[in-house]
Structure 1
Amino acid sequence: MKIRNKILIYFSSTVIVLSTLSLVIVFVLFSAHREEEFQQQQFSKIKHTVGLIEEFGKISETVSLYLDKQYIHDFYDEKMLIYNNNKKLVFSSIDSLDIVKSETILNRLSVSNGWIETKEDGYDLIGVYVEHNSKGYYGISKAYDFFGYSKKDFLQKVLVGIFVAIVVIVLLISFYLSNIIAKPISELTEKIKVYDLSDEENQPLKLKTTTSELRNLTEKFNELLKRTNDAFRFQKHSIQHISHELKTPIAVLVSELEKIEQQNDIEQIKTELHRQTKKTKSLGNIINVLLQISKIEAGQKITKANARIDEIVFNCIAEINTLYPDFNFEVYFTPHNFNENILNVKANEPLIKQAMLNLLVNAVLYSDNQKAKVTFDGSSDILTVIVLNSGKTLANDEQKFIFTHFFRGNNAQRQQGFGLGLVLAQRIFAIHNATIKYHSKENIKNIFSVEFPRL
């Protein structure tokens, strides 16, 4: 069932049921009040009649007629019987109306049981015991409350009219409100239907609503879409990632093996081969890095341990110098009273090493003077690693795409690659709650800065 129909049914049925109960209670209370008021009028007339009987002293047809025509206390249709203390009839109104239960009620009446009320053929029937001038009398009155029932019927018609009006109004309001409430949900549903996960240019869903729950739902859905798109893109480009990340270590391995091939000293060859065997194992680490990221994309957690960023960077520099021996990395620590404890971070070392390796290789490829500068900045509460190289920079309108899959700026036209190294590095840093940023300086310096959270 649609939420609009549920709102319509729940709201309208609740209001209609409550309205019905309220109107029924009003009708029942009025009916009880009418009955009580009319019975009190009957009782008043019985007392009035008893008083007249005492006043005249004896009963005759003329007195009976006089008593029966007391219009001020008269009812539309009534029969009254008055008995003395011995339950002997002393007055009977001239109405032809019969009281079938008169004997039964008279037998039940007593001083201790001085009030009996019941119904007979739609008439109100009461039996009472009254005292007047120290004398006891029993009175039975059967009367039809014409005006009371007329008011009751009128009230019933009014209440039915009110009920019908309430039902119509509530249904219209419910329909209107359900449309207003359900419209953003329907809009969100339609947008989700046409959303194409394979389209990398899709923008986050936007929903015009003042409902905080729907806004939160849209935000959470957009977060889910972002994570899904990231995972989708990563799976889509996994082959490119693997080829990109394996290219450098394989190139290093091939270069070293070519040097070994030119040597003649067997012992030296064995030593070099042993060293290259260890380096070849790093290929397994790279593959493990990619597998770890795949696990993260699937929602699994990675293991982290204490590690020193400077040691990881120095290891990366040593590996890069094997392939680019003429390239020079200048390493600095600032300020002068540098606190080494800030270099300790909680990280998955193979992942961080791969990210830093990609960042440093990027500096090598885009440097125009065979030099790069690495600075460990501990002047604030967080550790910042800055990698700077001189060379052609990205244009301002290109900088926002630098961490996008397959993006390659104008400064990369002569460089081989897929544009995936920085994307992978950013993803790894994000996993460690670290942030990487790029900016250029004086149009000749490329500057990457990575901020690590405190341990």
Structure 2
Amino acid sequence: MKIRNKILIYFSTTVVFVTAVSLVLIYVLFYEYREEEFQQHQNEKIHTTIKLIENFKQQSATISFLIDQQDINDFYDEKLLVYDSNKSLIFASLDSLDISKAESILNQLSPSQKWVETKEENYDLIGVYVVTSDGDYYAVSKAFDAFGYTKIAFLRIVLIGIFLFITVVVILISWFLSSNISKPITELTENLKKYEAGKEKFGELAIETSSYELTQLTRIFNELLKRTNEAFLFQKHTIHHISHQLKTPISVLVSELERINNYDKIEEVKPKIESQIVKAKSLGSIINVLLEISKIESGQEINKQELRIDEMFFDIIEELKVIYPGFNFEVNYTHHEVNENKLIISMNQTLISQAIQNLLVNCVTYSDNSKAEILIDCSEENQLKIQIINSGKPITLKEQDYLFDHFFRGENSVGKMGQGLGLILTKKIMELHSSTITYSNTAHNINIFTLNFILS
């Protein structure tokens, strides 16, 4: 069942039920009040009649008759019987109405039970034991509350009309509210139907609502869809990562090994073998990186440990010197006194090593003077900034917007090997460490990649 229909049914049913119970309760209370009020009027009539009988008991029966004629219009269709202390009838009203339960009520009355009330069809019957200064009396009254029943009938019609009116209003309001409440959810559902995972440009879902809960739900949906989209994109480009990071190096490795196989002298073979060992280790690191990212994308927690970031740079530079012996990396610190504690970062060694290697290999590929500088700045309070600087043709301002997109290659990459995946992989690694990578070129032919590590 649609949420709109559920809201409509649940809300309208609840309100209509509560309204019906309230109106029925009003009717029952008024009905009981009518009976109680009418019986009190009967009781007052009994006391008044007995007082008159006492006042004129020395007079003739004609006076009693006249009293009854005086009171006959007090109640419509009424019969009043008054008895003395011996339960002998001393007064009966003129009305011809018969009281079939008179003897039964009279037998129940006594000094210990002064009030008896019952019903006879729509007639109210009461029996009263009255004590006065001149003696004791018993009285039985039977009367029909025509005015009270008329009011009850009118009240019943009014309450039914109110109930029907409220029911219609509640249903209309419920329909309006349910439509407005469910509209954002319906929009969200329709947008989700149109969502396609794996798009290069992720478009956030948007709904018009002032509800805090729905706004939060949409925000969480967008975050979830963004992560899902990133996961799909990563899977989509995995084969391209493998092609970029593994296929070419393996082909080069195989080619080098075939050449080495043709060498006759062992002293010529040994340095070549050492070089290929370094390249093979590099391939192993790439494979480990892809596996680590795949695990993280599947929801596993990233494994981290405390390591010195500058020592990682030194180790990777030593490995690259074997492959690129003619390239010079220079590591400098911005201050003479270095706070070594700020150089220790919680990281996944495999991933950060690959990110650093990608950036240093880029320096080798795009440098025009075979050298690069690594500048480490630990002067700021809660972050460590590392700049990787090399001289070479810079990336234009227009191209910088796409620098960290899949397969992007700038004008400076013409004639260079690669598929444009190294930087996106590096950015992904930095994001997994809650850190950032940015590019800038502050001077002519100067390229600067800045790593910002947030220190805990």
CA deviation map 1:264-288 (0-9, x unaligned)? 5425635753664465244223212
Query: Normalization by structure 2: what TM-score?
Result: 0.94
Q: CA deviation at 1:85?
A: 0.7
Paired residues in the alignment total 455
Change (3 A) 1:378 1:252: farther
Give the match for residue 113 of structure 2: 113
Cα 1:281–1:198 shift into 2, 3 Å? closer
1:424 aligns with 2:412: no
Give the distance between the partners of 2:156 and 2:301, measured in 1 at CA: 70
Which deviations, in whole Å up to 9, do the C-alpha atoms of 1:41-98 show, x marking residues without a partner? 0000000110111111158653343222234871011011111111111111111111
Code of the aligned partner of 1:107 = N
Q: Do the aligned residues in 2 keep the contact of 1:246 with 1:283 (CA within 8 Å)?
A: yes
The more displaced of 403-412 and 32-41 is 403-412
What does residue 440 of structure 1 align with?
441
Q: Residues 327 and 370 of structure 2 are in contact (CA less than 8 Å); yes or no, is this contact kept in structure 1?
A: yes
Q: Which amino acid aligns with 2:307?
A: A
CA RMSD of aligned residues (A): 2.2
Separation in 2, partners of 1:134, 1:267: 149
Q: Could you tell me whether the CA contact under 8 Å between 2:79 and 2:141 is conserved in 1?
A: yes
Q: Structure 1 residues 413 and 114, CA, compared in 2 at 3 Å: closer, same or farther? A: same
**1:261, distance to aligned residue in structure 2 (A):** 5.8
- Which residue in 2 is equivalent to 1:98? 98
- Decide whether the 8 Å contact of 2:202 with 2:229 is kept in 1: no
Q: Which residue in the other structure is 1:162 paired with?
A: 162
SS of match in other structure, 1:384? strand
In the alignment, is residue 386 of structure 1 matched against residue 363 of structure 2?
A: no
Corresponding residue of 1:413: 414
Q: Which runs of 5+ in 1 are unaligned?
A: none
Q: Percentage identity across aligned positions?
A: 54
Q: Which residue of 2 aligns with 1:145?
A: 145
Tell me the residue number matched to 2:284. Answer: 284
Q: In the alignment, what sits opposite 2:40?
A: 40
Task: Establish whether residue 451 from structure 1 lines up as the match of residue 441 from structure 2.
Answer: no
- Aligned equivalents of 1:411 and 1:59: distance in 2? 136
The one-letter code sitting in structure 1 at the alignment partner of 2:441 is: S
Aligned-partner SS, 2:441: strand
Distance 1:59 1:313, change over 3 A: farther
Aligned partners of 1:438 and 1:449 also within 8 Å: yes
Tell me if the contact between 2:56 and 2:64 (Cα under 8 Å) persists in the aligned partners. Answer: no
Question: What residue is the counterpart of 1:310 in the other structure?
Answer: 310
Q: Write out aligned runs for 1:121-270 (5 A).
A: 121-246=121-246, 250=250, 253=253, 257=257, 265-266=265-266, 269-270=269-270
Q: What is the CA deviation profile of residues 93-119 of structure 1, one whole-angstrom value per residue up to 9, with x for unaligned ones?
A: 111111111111100001111011111
Shift of 1:314: 1.7
Alpha-carbon distance in structure 1 between the residues aligned to 2:403 and 2:271: 42
| CA deviation vs aligned residue, 1:378-427 (integer Å, no higher than 9, x gap) | 01121111111222222223222211111222322332221110111111
Q: Distance in 2 between matches of 1:442 and 1:273?
A: 41
Letter in 2 for 1:327: F
SS at the partner of 1:372?
strand
Q: Deviations over 1:114-161 (max 9, x none)?
A: 011111011011111112224111111110000011111111111111
Question: Is the Cα contact below 8 Å between 2:53 and 2:64 reproduced in 1?
Answer: no
Greater shift after overlay, 138-147 or 24-33?
24-33
> Could you tell me which amino acid in structure 1 is paired with residue 424 of structure 2?
V
5 Å-filtered alignment, 1:312-327, equals 312-327=312-327
Aligned amino acid, residue 163 of structure 1: F
> After superposition, what is the alpha-carbon deviation per residue over 1:291-328, rounded to whole angstroms, capped at 9, x for unaligned?
11111111112322222211211222223333332222
Listed as ranges, the gaps of 5+ residues in structure 2 are none
Q: Secondary structure at the match of 2:337?
A: coil
Distance 1:152 1:66, change over 3 A: same
Secondary structure of the structure 1 residue equivalent to 2:345: strand
* 1:384 counterpart letter in structure 2: K
- Give yes or no for contact 2:309–2:343 (8 Å, CA) kept in 1: yes
Any conservation in 2 of the 1:436–1:448 contact (CA below 8 Å)?
A: yes
What's 2:27 paired with?
A: 27
Change (3 A) 1:100 1:53: same
| Mapped partners of 1:102, 1:72: distance in 2 | 19
What letter matches 2:428 in structure 1? R
Measure the CA separation in 2 of the matches of 1:284 and 1:67.
123
CA contact (8 A) 2:275 2:323 kept: no
